Chains A and B, each alone.
Chain A
């Protein structure tokens, strides 16, 4: 009998405690409600994410040049594909071109399509037909030898890519049994 009363007391005490906790929780929640016509401040924290530029670009461009190639463009070039891997539009420029013609006796560099008999000119052209080497020199962006230049080659959209070819020509007296090096330095920047 005594145990029964104790059990009943414990049940009532537990139920009362639960009701009190519940009522307090509801009260706390209701305290957050704003009465009509009042105002409150909300702290908003913004963090500036750094702009990361991520690209794939050639560090060296090999090519062959020969008078026996048909058309105005005398260069066999690989497909030079430059890719952006970030959400940043990217501008691709040539900042400097190191040219070494010491292997070609009496040969000099030309900055344009009109070459003398002992001259060589090299530049870049965007791909117009997929997987086809350009045959003409129209629209070529010509490289300057051993001089700083800011030659914009192409612009990439976010996560975009662009393909270029090396193009160029050579004069009739340039010896064909030797090699020379043309080393452009590509520089990418936020467009």
Chain B
């Protein structure tokens, strides 16, 4: 009797128990991995301080953008033209420290008519005398010269600033 039980144990019950134990262990490890390890590191995390949290840092970034947008220019506030078709002393300057290309457009304030448009002035250059693109009658004209700034690297537009001038056409 005893030998029959021992034979059954060795031949059948023991292997079944071992297979069950192995299956139980496999299920345990599988489910643990599927449910997630609370200490697992996030793949999407970026090391550092969250952008936008520190106002001083944000202001420094904005300052850098603003500094890039600063433009310097010079212009004669009262250019004189002998006749409507002659050259006048507009005296446009794009200073060397600008590091930008400048295009100048002049509009008559009353009519918003474009009377002059330059080509791009490189930094460190100037135009002393210009001839207007439109023929003006003798008189005095209030106008605005807009200086449009472009990046030297890719000629992309940055922004513009203006200057009020008074044009005089003598005859």
Contact = CB atoms under 8 A, between A and B. Distances in A.
A53 B59 contact: no
A56 B72 contact: yes
Contacts of B77: 50-53, 88, 189-190
Interface in B144-171: 144, 146-149, 158-164
Contacts of A77: 59, 62
Interface in A130-169: 133
A31 B137 CA distance: 53
B118 interface: no
Contacts of B95: 54
Interface stretch (B7-15, B35-43, B63-71): B63-71
Contacts of A58: 66, 69-71, 159, 161
B76 interface: yes
B64 to A, nearest CB: 8
Interface residues of A, number: 33
B111 to A, nearest CB: 14
B55 interface: yes
Given A76-B59, A88-B77, A59 B160 contact: yes
Given A59-B158, A187-B163, A189-B164, A52 B74 contact: yes
A55 B147 CA distance: 12
Interface string B118-146: 00000000000000000000000000101
Given A56-B71, A57-B70, A78 B161 contact: no
A10 interface: no
Interface in A67-95: 69, 76-80, 85-86, 88, 95
A54 B73 contact: yes
Contact of B164 (A59, A86, A183, A190): A190
A19 to B, nearest CB: 54
B83 interface: no
A185 interface: yes
Given A133-B59, A187-B144, A50 B161 contact: no
19 contacts: A50-B77, A50-B78, A50-B79, A50-B89, A51-B78, A53-B163, A54-B95, A55-B72, A56-B71, A57-B70, A57-B71, A58-B70, A62-B65, A63-B62, A80-B66, A85-B74, A185-B146, A185-B162, A187-B161
For the complex of A and B, the 5 pairs showing the least CB-CB separation, nearest first, are A59-B159, A189-B164, A60-B159, A60-B69, A187-B162
Interface of B: 52, 55, 58-59, 62-63, 65-67, 69-79, 89, 91, 93, 95, 144, 146-149, 158-164
